[in-house]
Each structure stands twice: as structure tokens, then as C-alpha cells.
Amino acid sequence: MGATRNTTKSTAPTEAVKQINYLAAALKAPRITEAAARLADQARDAGWTHEDYLAAVLEREVSARNASGAQLRIRAAGFPGVKTMEDFDFDTQPAIRQQIGALASGGFLAEARNVVLLGPPGTGKTHLATALGVTAARAGHRVLFATATDWVTRLTDAHRAGRLPAELARLRRYGLIIVDEVGYLPFEQDAANLFFQLVSSRYEHASLILTSNLPFSGWGGVFGDQAVAAAMIDRIVHHADVLTLKGASYRLRGRGIDSLPSIRTTTGQTES
């Protein structure tokens, strides 16, 4: 009888494991199999209840799915590279440390607020925009990143194909759109109007992050129309956090170059 009891104890877990494997595959949750096996001995030794054991196994599956989903969202966002807050040297921009920390909590996304990062080249605007985007993706938000020029190209293609309204509607489903390098190249009138439509379609609906080397006073020259620029800025900043980065480019450190050429706006002011 002792042999019979041993056989029963050894085969019962094996049958249970087979059933777990089958059920996990049916649920398309293969990680449950690994978690169930890994936690089984721990559960027995610690005297867990069945509910405790089940909760622990499911928690591992959900965590793994979230991590996998975050990586997929980060790859789909089109970032030029993955940057994080931990990588950023806030000693070079101490004035914005607290604001960026608050933005990293993601509250601005829930409120459909925008973020605008202004400052000279090389001060970390793209890094911070990317880091906020990566943080948002890890929190479950869909994100898209592109330069202002690339966004205009995308919208122009949609407009020529007669599907601009559909494209704008599709983009509204993204919780965050990042527009990098506003102001590096001027837009023609048609392109400026398309960009305005992108901004308008997201107004009070979903968030934008924009970076620019120009102050707002210089945007009229970028978009070729002071009225369009004013209307666009009005919608962007109505619900927005505007951060100004200062200092020399990090790319120039140790190269014997103190500053880059200044940027002259259409109002005749010089920005450095």
C-alpha cells in the first residue's frame, strides 16, 4: 500500500502540471506554466492558501504581459533611441528638475495637457521629450514620435491621398504625440495649415509634447503666417507646461567652443 500511495502522490502532480500546461496554452498565457511550477514548492512550504497561490501566479503573468506590452509600445513609438529620466544630467538644467519630475507622473496625459520644451540646441530637449514618451509607454499609453518635418510629410501624404480626416482621427487614438525640432526648418503655407490641423485635432482631447529651438515669438517665421502661428500657439499653451532649457550644448563640452551661432527671430530679437 505504501508503494501505491507513493505512486499516487507522484502521478497526481504530473497530471495537474499537464492540465496547467494545456489550460495556459488555451488562454495564450504560457508564462502561467512557468510561474505555477516555480511557485508551487514555495506555496507548499509557506502554507499558502489556494487563493494566495492563484493570485501570485496571475500576478506574475500580468506583470510579464505589462512589461512585454511596454516594450512593444516603445518600439512602435518610433523614438530615435530609448532615453530615460535616469540618464538625464539634471545638474545642467536644475531649474526644471521639479517640473520634469511632476510631468513624469503622467498626470498631464490624463488631463490632455501639452508639454513644450524650448531652448538652444544641445540642451536636452529631445532627451526629455523621449524620456517622457518612454515613461508614458511603460504606463500603458500609446505614443508616436517624429520630427516636425516628418509629421508634415506624413500629413501631406494623407491629404494627397484624400484620407487626412481619417488620419487625424486615427492619431487622436494615441495618448501622446511628440513633435521634435519645431523651427529647424520653415514650412510652406500648405504644410503650416496641415500642422495646424494636427494641433487643433488634439486640442483638449489628447496630449502633445513639442520641442523647439525658437521662442514662441519666432514661430511666425517658421509657419510663414503670423495669424496661423498665433492660433496654433494659443491652442498649444492653453493647457500646457512650458519649460525653457538654458545653457550651452552638451555636444560642445570639452571641444573649446563656448556657444553656437545665435538664432534671430522675425521680430529682430536675438536668442542664444
Same domain, 251 and 126: yes
Q: In this predicted structure, what is the pLDDT of residue 3?
A: 44
Mean pLDDT (whole number) for 2-17: 54
- Same domain for 260 and 245, yes or no, is yes
Domain count, the chain: 2
Q: Are residues 67 and 180 in the same domain?
A: no
Residue 265 scores a pLDDT above 50: no
Same-domain pairing of 35 and 101: no
**Torsion of Cα atoms, 165 then 171 then 177 then 181, to 10°:** -40
Give the pTM. 0.75
Give the three-state DSSP class for 164. Answer: helix
Domain of 210, in residue numbers: 78-271
Q: How confident is the model at residue 189, as a pLDDT?
A: 92
173, 234: one domain? yes
Domain final residue pick, 24, 51, 73? 73
- Among 127, 69, 134, CA closest to 104: 134
Residue finishing a domain among 73, 105, 121: 73
pLDDT at residue 255 in the model: 59
Q: What is the mean pLDDT of residues 190-211?
A: 97
Looking at the structure, do residues 62 and 146 belong to the same domain, yes or no? no
Q: How confident is the model at residue 253 (pLDDT cuts 50, 70, 90)?
A: low
Cβ pair 149, 185 in contact under 8 A = yes
Residues 61-84: b if buried by 16+ CB within 10 A, e if exposed: beebeeeeebeebbeebebeeebe
pLDDT band of residue 257 (cuts 50, 70, 90) is low
**Going edge to edge, which strands form the sheet with 207-212?**
143-147, 176-182, 207-212, 114-118, 240-244
Question: What is the average per-residue pLDDT within 262-272?
Answer: 42
Residue 210 and residue 192 share a domain? yes
Which of 45, 73, 101 is where one domain is finished? 73
Q: Binning pLDDT at 50, 70 and 90, where does residue 24 land?
A: confident
pLDDT of 56 reads 86
- 56 and 190 co-located in one domain: no
pLDDT at 262: 53
Please check whether residues 117 and 239 belong to one and the same domain. yes
The pLDDT score that the predictor gives to residue 258 is 57
Specify whether 150 is located in the same domain as 104: yes
Band of pLDDT at residue 36, cut at 50, 70 and 90:
confident
Q: Are 166 and 213 within one domain?
A: yes
- pLDDT tens track for 145-195: 999 999 999 999 999 999 999 999 999 999 999 999 999 899 999 999 999
For residue 264, pLDDT beyond 50: no
Residues 106, 65 share a domain = no
Angle between helices 50-77 and 31-46 (to 10 degrees): 150
